[in-house]
Amino acid sequence: MILPHIDQPQRLRGLYVYDFGEWTAVGYTAEEIAILLDHERYRGGKVYKIYRAWPDGRMELRGVPPERFKLESGVFFYRQQEQPARADFQALLAAARQVPPPCRAYVHLADRGAASFQRYVTALIFPAEYDDEIGQWLLRLAFPGGDLVEGGISHVSNYYAEDKTILERQQLWSRAAIPSRSADQVLASVRQAVQR
């Protein structure tokens, strides 16, 4: 894979490289990568995330399996008592209003039943490709929720399969620093080596 020369490559940190096979394009958002992976003509490409970039043009890339763009991940804040769980739910919503998350996400407050260890859960669920960014966001917030905290893709699957009552739910919206383009715009520019 040959990457194009990029002025100020550090501005592309957190974006993606898509290797189409015959050519490579740099600077896609996660939503734009999902568009390419859904398109019949381009779905066979390889995806890399730009983790670090230096002024001299070097970049640290990490491969991302295409399946990851179809999965959800989550962070689950468990409490035995309802009031602390409600406080976690409200605190997370308040924090998200002050500092929006890096991607769209939703939050549930759920009752897992009297027989469950850690009966109540505040579930933060989001697209799996944003695991790192959500982790950094929660660290920036210094969010203190839960007596027990778990996270990851498998925990989302387990949560969906559980018998539970959702007490409250809320959608969280991000304010992306780099907005994604429409599918038409993405597909019209696939031959551009530098997307941004």
Instruction: List, in order, residues 6 or more apart from 96 with CB less than 8 Å away.
Output: 107, 172
The string of DSSP letters for 132-174 reads HHHHHHHHHHT----SEEEESHHHHHHHHHS--EEEEEEEE--
Q: What are phi and psi of 179, to 5 degrees?
A: -70, 145
What's the pLDDT at 176?
67
- Rounded Cα distance, 157 and 81, in Å: 24
- Give CA angle at 145 (128, 176), nearest 5°: 40
What's the pLDDT at 122?
98
The 3-state secondary structure of 101-114, one letter per residue: CCCCEEEEEEECCC
Question: Which residue has tokens 């960014």?
Answer: 133
What's the pLDDT at 164?
96
What's the pLDDT at 15?
92
pLDDT digits 0-9 by tens, 41-87: 998 999 999 988 888 888 999 999 998 888 999 999 999 999 999 99
Centre a 10 Å sphere on the Cβ of residue 16 and count the other Cβ atoms it contains: 23
The CATH number that domain 70-172 falls under is 3.30.70
Using CA atoms, how far residue 57 sits from 3, 30, 148, 168, in Å, is 10, 22, 42, 47
- Rounded Cα distance, 45 and 69, in Å: 13
What's the pLDDT at 7?
84
Domain boundaries of the chain, sorted by first residue: 9-69+178-188, 70-172
What's the pLDDT at 1?
83
- Give CA angle at 11 (96, 27), nearest 5°: 90
Low-confidence stretches of the chain (pLDDT < 50) are none
